[in-house]
Every structure is written in C-alpha cells, then in structure tokens.
Homo-oligomer: A and B are copies of this chain.
Amino acid sequence: MNDTFLKACRGENLDYIPVWIMRQAGRYLPEYQAIRANVDFLTLCKTPKLAAEVTLQPVDILGVDAAILFSDILVPVESMGMRLEFSDKEGPVLSEPVRSKSAVEKLIIPDIEVDLPFILETISILRKELENKVPLIGFSGAPFTLATYMIEGGTSKNFLNTKKMMFQHSGVFDYLMEKLTVTITSYLSAQIKAGAQAVQIFDTWAGILAPFDYKKFVLPYLKKTISDIKKEGVPIIYFVNNCAGILQEVKKSGADVIGIDWRIDISDAIKKLGKKTVVQGNLDPCALFMPKEKLEDRVKDILWKAEVANGHIFNLGHGILPQTPVENVIAMVEAVHYYGRKS
C-alpha cells in the first residue's frame, strides 16, 4: 500500500510529498455526476455501495495519496434528531434551529452503530477496496462548526444567532457544545474502529470568531475531542478555515496535522505553528483555473515554503469547486508528486 500520506502525518521521512483534495469526490467529476443523476445527495451518503464507489473515483482518476469517506458533516446532526434537507440553491437546511435550552435538551446522543450503520459499512467496503492502494481518512465536523449549522439552521452571513447564544446564554451554548463533543468523539472513534486510518476534523466556521472567542468557546471542546480520540492511535488532522488570526490558539489543539486555508502564506502559518508541526494545504481552490504553467508555479511555491515544517501534506485551502476542470486537477497532483520528490 502507498502509505506516504500516513508517514507524512507522523512526520516521518518521505520519498515525496503526498496530496489529497478536500471534496475530491464531488461534482467536478463527470463520473460522480453520473451517479448523482440517479440519486439525491443524502441518499448517496447513506447508501454504502454508492458512497464507496464515489469515494474511490478520485483515487483512480487523479492518483491522490489518500481516500476520504464520502459523506456530509451534517449526517451526524440529523442522527441527533434534527430534520436535514439539501437544497441545490441554499445548501443544507435544518428546518428547526436549536436556539433554547429545551431545544438542546431534546437532542439525542446517537449510538453510532445503531443510528449511523451505513457510515461504518461504507468504511468497511472501502478498506477492502483500498487494500493495495491508499489509506482511508474518516471525518467529522468540529463541535463549533456543527453548532453554527444547528443554531443558524444552515449557513449564515453574520452568524448572529450563534454569537447571541455565545454572548447572552453561554450556559446553553456550552450545553450544546458538550453534547456535540460527546457525539463527535464517539462518531470518530467508531469510524476508526471500522477501519479509518486517519481522521480529519473540519472547522469550516471557526474563522468567523475573534481570537478571544475562539479560545474561550471553541478550543476547550476541540481539545477534549482530540485528546479523547487520540487513544484510538490514528493521526488526527484539524482543518481550520480562515485560520490566519487564530493560529496561535489552533496550535494548542493537540492535533497531529493542522490544515490551513489559502488566505495566509504557508511560511507565515509555519512560523506561527512552530516547525514541529505537520501542515496541510494550502492552494486557493480558484488557482485550479489557472493555465497549467502558472498553476505549477503556485504548487512549487507552496512545496518549497513548506519544506521547513516537520511534514507537509499538499491540499487545497478549501473544498474543490464544482466548475473545476479535471485536467487541471490531474496536473496539480502530478506537479506535487514531481516537484515534491525528496530524493
């Protein structure tokens, strides 16, 4: 098996820099669209055979060094008792947002094997299929990011409801974060027991907070989640979107790998995180629309700057966009493997 990705997570010596892509199983691939033509998004997430099939597509098509379970960060939120729908225009909609103590009280702590068996079954299919290929990454949303969706009822511009709960009813907010921390911990542990060889925690919305609030309202729950999963013995990646202002705090998360977005120079990020960190990132997803020579220059720049870190996993700074040309993605993967050779 190609274990370059796992070695990079552990800061070990490598033959070349590994690469995978956030949302690598997705709408930019015609092969994915062919499957989605017959099945809606949530059904796809919940049908192990199909979810496994789309998970495998980018491994074969792009030649990436890791597969990531195809699912959505809101799947466990649905299993907590919320009604979840996906609209093509608005994205996820949780029709009854959580904005009171009684709403938090009603939330169920799911039993992963009973309530989300399809996730574990997808993982077990994937481990067999990936046996001689690449490692499998499991994932979850971070407690704060899931909390924002639950409180706002979907995405938001200003996250005012979330911040109102934090600032006016911090007891209710803490109660929600505690329930999420327990759920996420058991969700990730179950994924690892089922066969996930690394996990990524996505904190898509942590970057909307002032550093003081990140430290006070987000970091404690994240540290608890990470330290509880650590005993499962697989690498933990913590991806923080819009991280530039909060990296000094992110550093304290305890994760093995820190994933960063593109709005910060990777040199600057490594300076803040310390050279002992393994860093993941950080090409602007829109750079995949560049002519290939320019795209290669960007790849080289990131690779060279990240050489001072304890390890580097190449990735985009956020999920790949649906309009992205597949040939450019392949060119990017090839450029990482070519210019990231270590011998």
Contacts and interface: CB of A to CB of B under 8 A. Distances in A.
B290 A167 contact: yes
Interface magnitude class on chain A:
35 or more
Copies of this chain, complex-wide, total 2
Interface in A176-228: 207-213
Contact of A245 (B210, B268, B298): B268
A78 interface: no
A300 B78 CA distance: 41
A291 interface: yes
A168 B291 contact: yes
Contacts of A252: none
Given A268-B245, A287-B167, A263 B207 contact: yes
Interface stretch (A25-33, A121-129, A136-144, A158-166): A158-166
A250 to B, nearest CB: 12
B167 A213 contact: no
A163 B284 contact: yes
Interface in A242-286: 242, 244-246, 248, 262-265, 268, 284-286
Given A167-B294, A212-B301, A242-B242, A158 B286 contact: yes
B160 A286 contact: yes
B264 A244 contact: yes
A306 to B, nearest CB: 14
A263 B289 CA distance: 29
A158 B245 contact: no
Contact of A284 (B213, B286, B323): B213
Nearest to A295: B167
A263 B143 CA distance: 19
3 closest Cβ pairs, A-B complex: A244-B244, A244-B245, A245-B264
Given A163-B289, A167-B291, A242-B242, 8 more contacts: A168-B290, A209-B284, A210-B262, A210-B284, A210-B287, A211-B263, A211-B264, A244-B244
Interface of A: 158-160, 163-164, 167-168, 207-213, 242, 244-246, 248, 262-265, 268, 284-287, 289-291, 294, 298, 301, 317, 321, 323
16 contacts: A160-B286, A160-B321, A163-B286, A163-B289, A164-B286, A167-B286, A167-B289, A167-B290, A168-B289, A207-B263, A208-B263, A209-B263, A210-B317, A211-B268, A242-B263, A244-B244
